[in-house]
Amino acid sequence: MIEEAYYYWGISATIYIVTCYIFSAVRWFHTCDKPKESHAYIWPDRKMQAITYLLATVLIPYALNPLDENAWLLWKCYFPVTYYFYCGMMLFCFFGSVKQWSQWKVVTWFVGAVVALTMIPLIINAWIPGCILHPSQWGGQFYQYIVIAISVLMIFYCAVAMWQVWRWMRQASDENYSNPEDFPNTYAHRVWLAPVVFTPFLWAGFITDSPTVMAWMNLALSIMNIILLITVIPAWRRADIIPGREEEDATVICDDTCDNVMDDRINKIAVFIDEYVNQQQAFLNPHLKIENVVNGCGYSRTYVSKTFQEYYGGFFNYVNGLRLAYYDQYAAAHPAITKEATAQASGFTSYQSYYKVRERMKDMKKSAPTS
């Protein structure tokens, strides 16, 4: 019975490691022809994901000899310590590529160093003959308490990443972006809660201290690896970003004097918007956000948003209307230039992005009420 269990323990561990290798290889080598020139934009976390999944190599001693107690100690501690860090890091990297990744990069490096220092003794203990941390002795038992403490710290780090992505998703729904590929809102909704889904599988083996339970968890995590790979591969996941609603205006209750002041401010903002976005051609920046306008004019986002809505039909509509007009002018002046190059010169990230914005604008005009 023990030999049969031993056989299944090793097989399940091997399957998990193999799926990690498959994930890493596909993420590293798989690209689509059109976005090859924009790797950092389309796949900001591509290399990081590939390298991260290769780290499963440290678990090989358990796959080769599941009866080794030191290898088992490494295996059951690996998941609660590392997975929350991996998830948090990927969320910050992918979704923070157009937001605040640089702000969180230092924190992530520090947290990664903590994870590495926690795992190195366990890795040495499993790979090098000799008992450094025997699970049944006080050293190994005490170290498992350290593992629990670091895992809780990683949960907190991952929770912060999830909270940030949730905030970014809400901002995307407020038409914070002029380019419908800047923030992968649909994709974010699919993966931002992944750490919560992973949690039961990460702790089951550690809590029960049962290789049999962990064998089933290995198979579940292997399936999740494949599902996640299928989810993250398509470059077109950056489409369908911004929902079709305009930003809601804040309701301000005030008297006639206040109305006059507000009108004066809105008029000044409208002049600034025309000068900055149109005349200075800020719309050619493919990643132009409403915050850029807010920071430039010195008024609050409420006033800027209200001005866009009243004068220009909304931030997204105004900026992309200018881009579409510029595209037509540029194409007429440069007939030999490809559609892809024309779209990029007009403030779009690709011709596919141009086409989707154009069709969306057409649909909005058709659905607009006629007077």
Cβ contact 146:118 at 8 Å: yes
pLDDT (0 to 100) of residue 53: 93
Structure tokens at 242: 């911004």
Q: What is the 3-state secondary structure (H, E, C) of 229-293?
A: HHHHCCHHHHCCCCCCCCCCCCCCCCCHHHHHHHHHHHHHHHHHHHHHHHHCCHHHCCCCEHHHH
pLDDT (0 to 100) of residue 305: 81
Cβ contact 297:189 at 8 Å: no
pLDDT (0 to 100) of residue 267: 85
Contacts of 117 (CB under 8 A, 6+ apart): none
Please state the separation of Cα 123 from the chain's center in Å.
29
Consecutive H or E run containing 10? helix 2-29
- Helices 2-29 and 46-54, interaxial angle, to 10°? 160
Cβ contact 266:306 at 8 Å: yes
Cβ contact 69:131 at 8 Å: no
Q: How many CB atoms lie within 10 A of CB 279?
A: 8
- pLDDT in single tens digits along all 371 residues of the chain: 445 677 899 999 999 999 999 999 988 887 555 445 555 555 566 788 889 999 999 999 999 999 888 999 999 999 999 999 999 988 887 776 555 566 778 888 999 999 999 999 999 999 987 767 777 777 778 999 999 999 999 999 999 999 988 887 776 654 566 665 566 777 787 888 889 999 999 999 999 999 999 999 999 999 999 988 887 776 443 433 333 333 333 344 444 545 555 677 788 888 888 899 989 998 998 888 887 888 888 777 777 888 888 888 888 888 999 999 999 999 999 989 999 999 999 998 888 888 888 888 887 777 655 54
Name the DSSP letter for residue 371.
-
